[in-house]
Amino acid sequence: MESPLRIAIIGQSNFAAEVLELLLEKNYNIAGVFTIPNKGTREDILAATAKQHSIPVFKFASWRRNGEVLPEVLQQYKSVQANLNVLPYCSQFIPMEVIDAANLGSICYHPSILPRHRGASAISWTLIEGDEVAGFSIFWADYGLDTGPLLLQKQCIVEPTDTLDILYKRFLYPEGVKSMVQAVNMVAEGKAPKIPQAEVGASYDAAMFKEQNHYIDFKKTAEDIWNFVRGLDSVPGALAVVLHEDGSEEKVRFFGAHLYADGPVIGPKRLTLKGLKNPAYIHDRGLLLQGTDGKFVNIRRLKRGSKMINACDWFTKCQQSQISNFSKDELDKRDVLINIWHSILKCPIEAETDFFAAGAGSMDVVRLVEECKDALDMTLDSGQVFMAPVFEEFFCEIIRSLRQESSAVQGRIHYDGFVLQANKREISVPTQLFINGEFMDAEQRKTLDIINPSNEELLCKVACASRSDIDKAVQAAHQAFYGAWRQVSARQRGNLMLKLADLMEEYKEELATIESIDSGAVYTLALKTHIGMSIDAWRYFAGWCDKIQGNTIPVSPGRPNKVLTFTKKEPIGVVGLVTPWNYPLMMLSWKMAACIAAGNACLIKPAQTCPLTALKFAELTVKAGFPPGVINVVPGTGTEAGQAISDHKLVRKLGFTGSTSIGKIVMRSCADSNLKKCSLELGGKSPLVIFADCDFEKAVKYGVCSVFFNKGENCIAAGRLFVEDRIYDEFVRRVLRDVRSMTIGDPLNRSTAHGPQNHRAHFEKLIEFCRRGIKEGAKLVYGGRPVPNTKGYFFQPTIFTDVEDHMFIAQEESFGPIMIISKFHGSDVESVMRRANRTEYGLASGVFTRDISKALMFADNIEAGTVFVNVYNKTDVAAPFGGFKQSGFGKDLGQEALNEYLKTKCVTIEY
């Protein structure tokens, strides 16, 4: 049966539009809609919704003049012959001639529990007064101000996190829309009560649209100040006045308040506010205000003029220069932006046009971001719109971002460094610490000498981090992790990593040249492996960023309740990385790519002998757009900088690659400091077993590669070869032939196969290692000494045969180009397995045989983290890498590496 109601809806906004939609769903007859005029060409959504349903729409700028109803307005209203007026959200004063014209009356929505908080700013006063309960009333309009009889009321608890905006969106809006329709149903059914409002507890509150009512009264308790600020959040914002040192005053608006009980702040900066007895304090989480009770309120965001900023950035933003000297190209971009804004807002765009005040909503923000990206080919996110909602400010932010991107692309990142002239190139290389997105000198300008291993000459001096510098880097990472980095989504994080990988690809020849000069790596190998695999690691882990997820777990709850249990994978926080000198950039990338993919912030101490690719990499992270503090590079010594990272209480995870002896110290420091999680990739003495039934040519090729790859400075190098007696002599002969033909020399020469060792201390260690082998009775068949008549740390590829298990060179790692060959009899496979395992190391291993059973038995029984079968040194970024026993624990590479930089949180919900 059709309802006898003929409804006139009087109001505006999404609230009123949703009420209209729901009433139409209930098949009510909407006789007409009365709303506000267009803003420029932008129509209120209530009018637009009504037109979609062919409902007559009337737009009045005013209903009265000099207190009297406008005759033409009243006539148009009466023309729809409504018998019920519904006022869901109405900002205009509606004359009583209209209110009373509907014979069933007029029902009105009010956002408070009447009679408390009568007036236009009820929601604000609910919060300002610290009410524990909020709600709304639907009442019958009369001559008074929100005094008519009550039809319906609903309420909710006021949460400590509620602001005006949150309370409206959480309860007053969604429940209010449904309740307006419920009220109409009650009228239609003749069941709508008219309950007189009591005057007990009634209050009439000031309208908060007047600026004089926006000022904070600082002669209040912290709780009162907090309630006042959240009562005006997000519109219009609580007002305060900053008193500058030069005597000038500046109005600012406060947003995002909360009561502060987080202990003392470190190194706050003072700000003087008019009427506030004690100074306000700017700190890394906002602005602290002290109430009369001695307690504090923290303000997260400020609005200066039309621009919103994070409160903690007050002094930074004060120092930021304004843009005025626009180029013609930039002014052309201004015209492009004007057209984009106009197409969205449908109104004239002036310098002071406010995007949100002009009626834009969340989907309009998305549209603006996407259209700007397409039109200007730039990186932009929604936060930039919210922080600069006024057109001129937005335009300046866009130009500032474009200039920064342009500067980054053109390499205009300021640092002190030197120009490396090598490999037919001139390469600019930083030599300072990289902390919080900037290059800077170390404390007291302390430096490290960087020696070219090819000629033993001083290449440059690099900043050497002190404990204080390490603390600075940790603090930067800590602030980034809990600040800007946390706002970057997983997918955005992956895109940043991919952009960095693309930059590494673009600069790969420069990076390979630096690596070759700095560490002694052969250029062709540096290009393919040192740099190539680094790029692969960043691309591989970039793909994992938005695929890190937990599980739902079936548990057994106590009946009759049900339980949902699930896990979340979360980043650990600040991660310290310490990497070795054999693969400077690759070791950085293996660890850092997984660390960053997991969402952590980090600092890395590269090897003190060859930190240059790490510093060049730091420059590329700025160009890629990583937020300051997410990645920090701090060259230094292990005893000071490395130890400081291990000891620091804000570092929650340490990834270390190096020797076993240092690894033990690191692990002890991790336990003593704050029980930080650690992963250790340490020494190795990897066995390679070659059976007579192997593919002999392949075994020789990979046997040579297993030892001499990267001049033996390879953590998984075959530390000892076990060759079956039937092929032993021929194997030695063929290996000797290949080694004698190996080209040793300038690592930049494309024909070179074997470059210099990394540094003098290691070079001298290899000499002593060989002397000890000879002394213990091993047979030196080739090498064992420096390359004669050659400057630099060039060491001859070396071969020892007849090595027995008890010898020092059979047990300890050389980490150099020294092949250790032992013989075994083919009838005792189990014996050679035991000999291969008779070491405290367990990093890698290998076997060559055509017998699949023999190969699988080897894989089953060998105590090593990696097993190569009929190949060697075949690593891939998708395959986990790490050792057993005193070769350490934890994994680099592959999906398992992500777990090293994540923590698992279990959540259980009973319902």
Active site residues: 110, 681, 715
Question: Tokens 């057994």 — which residue?
Answer: 556
Nearest one of 819, 870, 804, 864 to 840, comparing CA atoms = 864
| Residue 607 assigned to a binding site | yes
CA distances from 327 to 331, 334, 374, 402, 405 (A): 6, 11, 21, 12, 16
What is the phi-psi region of residue 12: left when phi exceeds 0, alpha when psi lies from -120 to 50, beta otherwise?
A: beta
- The CA-based angle 335-341-346, given to 5 degrees, is 120
- Measure the CA–CA gap between 753 and 747, rounded to whole angstroms: 8
- Measure the CA–CA gap between 453 and 424, rounded to whole angstroms: 19
| Residue 887 assigned to a binding site | no
Structure tokens at 197: 């409002």
CA distances from 186 to 153, 157, 564 (A): 13, 26, 40
| Residue 638 assigned to a binding site | yes
Q: What is the phi/psi pair of residue 690, to 5°?
A: -120, 110
Tally Cβ neighbours within 10 Å of residue 904: 11
| Residue 78 assigned to a binding site | no
| Residue 93 assigned to a binding site | yes
CB-neighbour burial class of residue 76 (10 A; exposed 0-12, middle 13-18, buried 19+)? middle
- Measure the CA–CA gap between 130 and 221, rounded to whole angstroms: 12
- The CA-based angle 160-163-164, given to 5 degrees, is 140
Order of strands, sheet of 552-553, starting from the edge strand that comes earlier in the sequence: 552-553, 563-571, 902-910
Locate the DSSP E strands across 228-343. Answer: 238-243, 249-260, 269-271, 280-283, 286-290, 296-304, 307-310
Buried b (16+ CB within 10 A) or exposed e, 201-224: eeeebeebeeeebbebebebebeb
Buried b (16+ CB within 10 A) or exposed e, 279-300: ebbbbebbbbbbbeeebbbbbb
Please state whether beta strands 888-889 and 677-681 pair in parallel, antiparallel, or not at all (unpaired).
antiparallel
Contact 297, 226 (CB under 8 A): yes
- Measure the CA–CA gap between 111 and 106, rounded to whole angstroms: 17
| Residue 606 assigned to a binding site | yes
Tally Cβ neighbours within 10 Å of residue 446: 16
| Residue 859 assigned to a binding site | no
Contact 278, 290 (CB under 8 A): yes
Nearest one of 52, 54, 2, 48 to 29, comparing CA atoms = 2
| Residue 146 assigned to a binding site | yes
CA 340, chain centre distance (Å): 29
| Residue 813 assigned to a binding site | yes
- Measure the CA–CA gap between 682 and 63, rounded to whole angstroms: 82
Omega within 30 of 0 (cis) for the link into 115: yes
- Measure the CA–CA gap between 413 and 800, rounded to whole angstroms: 51
Contact 669, 662 (CB under 8 A): no
What DSSP string describes 29-98? EEEEEEEPPPBTTBPPHHHHHHHHTT--EEE-S-SEETTEE-HHHHHHHHTT--SEEEESS--SPPPHHH
| Residue 659 assigned to a binding site | yes
- Measure the CA–CA gap between 537 and 526, rounded to whole angstroms: 15
- Measure the CA–CA gap between 300 and 361, rounded to whole angstroms: 23
The set of residues, in sequence order, having a beta carbon less than 8 Å from that of 506 and lying 6+ positions away, is none
The set of residues, in sequence order, having a beta carbon less than 8 Å from that of 329 and lying 6+ positions away, is none
CA atoms within 13 A on the CB side of 785: 8
| Residue 764 assigned to a binding site | no
Question: Amino acid letter at 759?
Answer: H
| Residue 642 assigned to a binding site | yes
| Residue 769 assigned to a binding site | no
| Residue 711 assigned to a binding site | no
Nearest one of 747, 868, 734, 872 to 799, comparing CA atoms = 734
Residues making up the annotated binding site for (6R)-10-formyltetrahydrofolate are 92-94, 146
From the annotation, which residues make up the binding site for NADP(+)?
Answer: 605-608, 638-643, 658-659, 765, 813-815
Annotated binding site: 92-94, 146, 605-608, 638-643, 658-659, 765, 813-815
